[in-house]
Amino acid sequence: MLREIDLSRKITKDEYKKVMTDLELKLGTLQRRALGLGIPVVIVFEGWDAAGKGTQINKLLLSLDPRGFTVHPINAPNEEERLRPFLWRFWTKTPARGTIAIFDRSWYGRVLVGRVDKIVPKKIWSKAYDEIVSFERQLADDGNAILKFFLHISPKEQKKRFRKLAANRSTAWKVTKEDWKHHKQYDKYLAATEDALARTDTAFAPWTIVEAHDWRFATVKVFTAVADALERACAAAERAQRSSRKRKAPARRDDSASSILDGIDLAGAITKDEYVSSLKKYQRRMMELEHEVYLKRLPVIIVYEGSDAGGKGGNIKRLVQGMDPRGYQVIPIAAPNDIEKAHSYLWRFWMHIPKAGHIAIFDRSWYGRTLVERVEGFCSEEEWRRAYREINEMEAQLVGFGTVLVKFWLHIDQDTQLERFKARQRNPHKRWKITDEDWRNREKWDAYKLAIDEMLYRTSTPLAPWTVVEANCKWYARIKALKTVVQAIEKKL
Amino acid sequence: MLREIDLSRKITKDEYKKVMTDLELKLGTLQRRALGLGIPVVIVFEGWDAAGKGTQINKLLLSLDPRGFTVHPINAPNEEERLRPFLWRFWTKTPARGTIAIFDRSWYGRVLVGRVDKIVPKKIWSKAYDEIVSFERQLADDGNAILKFFLHISPKEQKKRFRKLAANRSTAWKVTKEDWKHHKQYDKYLAATEDALARTDTAFAPWTIVEAHDWRFATVKVFTAVADALERACAAAERAQRSSRKRKAPARRDDSASSILDGIDLAGAITKDEYVSSLKKYQRRMMELEHEVYLKRLPVIIVYEGSDAGGKGGNIKRLVQGMDPRGYQVIPIAAPNDIEKAHSYLWRFWMHIPKAGHIAIFDRSWYGRTLVERVEGFCSEEEWRRAYREINEMEAQLVGFGTVLVKFWLHIDQDTQLERFKARQRNPHKRWKITDEDWRNREKWDAYKLAIDEMLYRTSTPLAPWTVVEANCKWYARIKALKTVVQAIEKKL
């Protein structure tokens, strides 16, 4: 594909001036319109060394309102980044609603230089295509406008540019040995690039090849593409706003839903003696495992979900009691704050993904989307339905990176919950734990049951299965959770 | 001081149980009270290796609501951190209002291990005391409760503990060669520690020495100190709330203020030809300097403040026009968001401090405190008065780290401002730039003038002087700013 492209395309200085005045004004207007509509914009610049990425990015951002964008130059990952799944550093840089993120090189590094230079083994880079496509699709579904540019020059042109840079004292440092090595491997890179472009060119995140021999031609092409994409994104967002005002049909009730919860035997119980001795045993083991996890640089994520008053807090406490606080972190998830709301909903969880060698314990999690957000109508039906797949994709990436992922659903029955609510209300030191909201949620027991059932059903994958913990007996539940974590880590080690 | 402390203090198991039940409940209640009052809490744990910091931290956080705290284990700085002023990584970790930040080792590393192991030269660590005290004072002034614990054990006890750890297969890895080396240098560390404690023991951030031979004694002492400090902080916050309801006296007008602005000659102007040729010259030089800045790992910060319609945007544009976007970032400062408001006001600027080798251009800055926040009453008089010193301290730290710091005030007169406002209103493409607020601000010209004058007067230090740019003629102003930046960087290189 790339070889056939006519790189001789040019534009005259006069024509350039004429076109650009309009384009710059148009872009400014569109940026403000996109900001008003809260559209996040992702612009990726890839291309050959010396193809002029820096120049094009600078031209673009000089015509934008500086309050609205951030440029992210992407180099080889640093240690913080290498110790997390590959897309982590890109997720954390995705733009808030109404802002523009410009990537100077990007997640494509893994399938281009990482592949050709054999920095990343084939087993890993070949998997990256799926991860990239799902990443971009999730952003697009969340309303992001995504543009990807590949700045193309011929090997002859590249050589000419390298020589010119090398001849000038103040730019000579820009051309490194590495660059010349890459230049000699132009064909290899070309093959990898064609492969990457073909496998990641989607309707929601298309590639634009930019003929970059003539910088004026390139600039006009980039500006036109950005203006077109913003135009389309704005029109789509306005349509969506109009139609969402009309829609609002109630989510249909699905009475034929499978019932996992009904099948759970909550009778499991143990005596105090059994509890005390098992607790000691497993806590001691957890202490040892925490060290091994660190030494082997194993990432561990433990997710706690469960009924209100299901005993999450007490359970987590027993899990971490003997552990070293340097090795674990409990991440309590409440309603999202302003900044979190301005991003795709998985963003805030990506921000908390632990470094390899550390244990992250989520007290509630990304499953909020399929539970409280669904039942309370905080997100649209389309959004929570999409979430099952998005979550499964994220968890697959975590597990693919080597993470031990354990997910608990702490289940109690309605009577036990009522008892515990009442006990909390009686105890002056625990009264703050129970709010009107808890009582209101209790009234929605059936709606929650439906949501929980569907969640367990759709997100229990072979890679990331749920563990349902029968939690009417707190002692039983604590030991079961501890044992499950211990076994999951031991299995991986 | 440390040698004289009686390390044999103990507490019995029974007494411990009795005391701790109360202390834990008390702590829980106080945490919720502090949360309600929006008090940020900083708890620092320092102490000898194997003194039990991890154990004490875990005990503390098991009795806290996990939604309210974060533990920060502090190791040697990574590359991202080494390329920024020493306190950067601690500023970015300061707690939001109502939350608790627990530091497992801290900024004291620089004056303890960094000093004794000669990782940090004397010139640097001796300066760190002032930086630390001013850091802690700024946090305390902002309402933070600060606790600092030093866990103390004797060299004999340390040896005993190391041997015990080394004898157990699953903990042997914890005792490294480094640890034994430190053990042999106990006396050297002792001297450094005594020095550090004495020089940083302040009323707003006092040290608590914890006798840590008996862990029960240590736990009770830590819990008691935290409870006391929270109690006092809550009481102080409640008093402040009551008195602030009463106060609200108008800021007094200071008619004897020096007038810097009146003395500025705004007549400076150049012709278009001069402009075009100087612009080319300096832009080309900036391009070269940007590379040298990167190669020499020089940090550069350029601050733009100025009258509304003073031409900041156009000026910044000319500065960066020829530059490589990988080397600079424009940081536009608008009203703070939720997260930023929940922190000390300098926090959000610390978040944006550039890495050495990069150029950060602030379009408005921390001076907002002394300008818009003062004039509009967004902060108290005490707060903006305190800000002059806080800002001077921050800038001294930046410059001390080697940063080239340039601060511009772009000044125009009232007539020129009116002309530009009207011109913007006439131009359909620029109309969005002018809002009702601009017109309102214009009416407050005198109040702003007073605030600007005082700001220029109090924050023009030998290390970080202001450059007033006469900006009635845009061309003149752009060249003056460019030239100033070029010369400041050249001087440093």
- The model's pLDDT over B350-397, given as tens digits with 9 standing for 90+, comes to 999 999 999 999 999 999 999 999 999 999 998 999 999 999 999 999
Residue B251: is its pLDDT beyond 70? Answer: no
Q: Give the burial string for B178-187 (b: 16+ CB within 10 Å, else e).
A: eeeebbeeee
CB contact under 8 A, A339 and B334: no
Assess contact for A477 and A408: CB atoms under 8 A: no
Q: Which of B71, B79, B326 to mutate to test the interface with A (most CBs of A within 10 A)?
A: B326
Distance of CA B71 to the CA centre of its chain: 19
pLDDT cut 90: percent of chain B above it: 76
Nearest to A291 among B67, B79, B173 (CB): B173
Residue A161: is its pLDDT beyond 70? Answer: yes
| Cβ pairs bridging A and B (under 8 Å) | 97
Statement to judge: residues B318 and B463 lie in one domain: yes
Q: How far apart are CA A285 and CA A294, in angstroms?
A: 14
Range of the domain at A461: 261-492
In degrees rounded to 5, what are phi and psi of residue A120? -115, 125
How many domains is chain A partitioned into structurally? 2
Nearest to B324 among A54, A173, A288 (CB): A54
Closest CA to B435 of B309, B307, B305, B306: B309
Distant-in-sequence, close-in-space partners of A273: CB < 8 Å, separation ≥ 6? none
CB contact under 8 A, A330 and B25: no
Task: Locate B56 and state its tokens.
Answer: 């004490």
Between residues B379 and B251, which one has the greater pLDDT?
B379
| Residue A48 within a domain | yes
Statement to judge: residues B79 and B32 lie in one domain: yes
Residue B253: is its pLDDT beyond 80? Answer: no
Per-residue pLDDT of B267-325, as tens digits, reads 889 999 999 999 999 999 999 999 999 999 999 999 999 999 999 999 999 999 989 98
Task: Locate A220 and state its tokens.
Answer: 């006009």
Of the pLDDT bands very low, low, confident and very high (cuts 50, 70, 90), residue A429 is confident
Closest CA to B73 of A354, A90, A490: A354
Task: Locate A226 and state its tokens.
Answer: 């950005």
| Residue A226 within a domain | yes
| Residue B381 within a domain | yes
Task: Work out the mean pLDDT of chain A and round it to a whole number.
Answer: 92
Does the complex come out with an ipTM higher than 0.90? no
Statement to judge: residues B238 and B277 lie in one domain: no
Assess contact for B328 and B290: CB atoms under 8 A: yes
Domain boundary among A240, A274, A298: A240
Between residues B250 and A382, which one has the greater pLDDT?
A382
CB contact under 8 A, A321 and B291: no
| Residue B250 within a domain | no
| Residue A450 within a domain | yes
| Residue A1 within a domain | no
Residue A256: is its pLDDT beyond 70? Answer: no
Statement to judge: residues B135 and B20 lie in one domain: yes
Statement to judge: residues B213 and B310 lie in one domain: no
Burial of A106 per CB tally in 10 Å (0-12, 13-18, 19+) = buried
Strand positions, DSSP E, B144-293:
145-152, 207-211
Give residue for tokens 């563990």: A467
Between residues A223 and A80, which one has the greater pLDDT?
A223
- Shortest Cα distance from A57 to chain B (angstroms)? 7
Statement to judge: residues A222 and A300 lie in one domain: no
What CATH number should be reported for the domain holding residue B89?
Answer: 3.40.50.300
Residue B249: is its pLDDT beyond 60? Answer: no
pLDDT cut 70: percent of chain B above it: 97
For the ranges A425-429, B43-47, B279-283, the lowest mean pLDDT is seen at: A425-429
Q: Please name the residue of chain B whose CA is at the shortest distance from the CA of residue A286.
A: B170
For the ranges A146-150, A483-487, B42-46, B195-199, the lowest mean pLDDT is seen at: B195-199
Per-residue pLDDT of A4-30, as tens digits, reads 888 989 999 999 999 999 999 999 999
Per-residue pLDDT of A81-117, as tens digits, reads 999 999 999 999 999 999 999 999 999 999 998 999 8
Statement to judge: residues B414 and B343 lie in one domain: yes
Residue A338: is its pLDDT beyond 90? Answer: no
Per-residue pLDDT of B432-482, as tens digits, reads 888 888 999 889 999 999 999 999 989 999 889 999 999 999 999 999 999
> Within the 104-143 window of chain A, which residues sit less than 8 Å (CB to CB) from chain B?
104
Q: How far apart are CA A27 and CA A229, in angstroms?
A: 11
Statement to judge: residues B441 and B477 lie in one domain: yes
| Residue B249 within a domain | no
Per-residue pLDDT of A436-485, as tens digits, reads 888 998 899 999 999 999 999 899 998 899 999 999 999 999 999 999 99
Hey, is the C-beta of B324 within 8 angstroms of any chain A C-beta?
yes
In degrees rounded to 5, what are phi and psi of residue A320? -95, -5
Residue A285: is its pLDDT beyond 70? Answer: yes
Assess contact for A452 and A368: CB atoms under 8 A: no
Q: Which DSSP helix (H) or strand (E) runs through B102? A: strand B100-104
Assess contact for A211 and A9: CB atoms under 8 A: yes
Task: Work out the mean pLDDT of chain B and round it to a whole number.
Answer: 92
CB contact under 8 A, B429 and A62: no
Q: How far apart are CA A464 and CA A403, in angstroms?
A: 10
Statement to judge: residues A368 and A404 lie in one domain: yes
Closest CA to B301 of B406, B209, B228, B212: B406
Assess contact for A434 and A424: CB atoms under 8 A: yes
Beta bridge partners of B42: B101, B146
| Residue B413 within a domain | yes
Nearest to A338 among B58, B80, B337 (CB): B337
Domain boundary among A211, A240, A269: A240
Statement to judge: residues B207 and B270 lie in one domain: no
Residue B246: is its pLDDT beyond 70? Answer: no
Statement to judge: residues A276 and A153 lie in one domain: no
Domain boundary among A184, A209, A240: A240
Q: How far apart are CA A388 and CA A133, in angstroms?
A: 17
Assess contact for A356 and A83: CB atoms under 8 A: yes
Assess contact for A11 and A220: CB atoms under 8 A: yes
Closest CA to A55 of B316, B313, B320: B320
Distant-in-sequence, close-in-space partners of B186: CB < 8 Å, separation ≥ 6? B155, B158
Statement to judge: residues A182 and A45 lie in one domain: yes
Segment of A1-10, B144-153, B201-210 carrying the highest mean pLDDT: B144-153
